[in-house]
Amino acid sequence: MSGAAMDEPRRTIVITGVSRGLGAALLERFIEAGHAVAGCARSSNALEKLAARCPDALLETCDVADANAVESFARSAVERLGAPDLLINNAALMNDLAPLWEVPAEEFDRMMAVNVSGTANVVRAFLPAMIARGRGVVVNLSSGWGRSTAPEVGPYCATKWAIEGFTGSLADELPDGLAAVALNPGVIDTEMLRKCWAEGASAHEGADAWSRRAAPFILGLGVAENGAQATVP
């Protein structure tokens, strides 16, 4: 798969989960490159800080697990920026490390609501405008744990395996001109990784450095990659 240069024509990009980590870093890279970007997250305080760094971004508070809130965000984004060329489902939660039988039902259900139903809510809200225009790429963030397993992260694995299947089926359904890609971002030192590996996470590159490789790669994904299980190089 080929990555595209960051100085390519201006694109309209939507990213979920932009309050921190990979989402925030990607948003900053795309804004720096002159693209039109809309982002959402649950934390209004975090979005205020992000807006100070990226005043040109369209930022809204939205919990992707709330279908009505997502519909409202989509209407606002499409009205102001148009249908997205690139829709990135990044918002996700990680479980507290524990064997599956010790994970509380509420925690498991919340992860499913955000990581899986949240992705479906975003696709449902934005895809009709992309189909009407006849082009666009949906990138659903997966994980190495969406293609493998490990102890004490069973709920997270379950959600990311679901994303892989969801994305593959979506790719089969899309009309010509559109694509859906499941993307493993790799291992990055983020708050989520520290929840799993504590101090071991610091051995990996941070979100800012990662985003400088990932953003051009993501921009290079197109119809040729429809249905692909991609990994940021």
Sheet holding 178-184, edge to edge: 58-61, 36-41, 12-16, 86-89, 136-141, 178-184, 229-231
The residue from 156, 161, 166, 210 that is catalytic is 156
> What would the two tokens of residue 113 be?
């609501």
Q: Supply φ then ψ for residue 137, to 5 degrees.
A: -125, 130
Buried b (16+ CB within 10 A) or exposed e, 219-230: bbbbeebbebeb
Told to judge if 156 belongs to the known catalytic residues of this protein, a careful annotator would answer: yes
Distance CA 158, CA 3 (A): 29
Closest CA to 3 of 196, 221, 187: 221
Rg (C-alpha) for the chain, rounded Å, is: 16
Among the listed residues 188, 157, 138, 158, the one whose alpha carbon sits nearest the alpha carbon of residue 25: 188
Reference 91, options 38, 58, 29, 42; nearest CA is 42
Task: Tell me how far apart the alpha carbons of residues 111 and 117 are, in angstroms, rounded to a whole number.
Answer: 9
Contact 92, 110 (CB under 8 A): no
Catalytic annotation, residues: 156
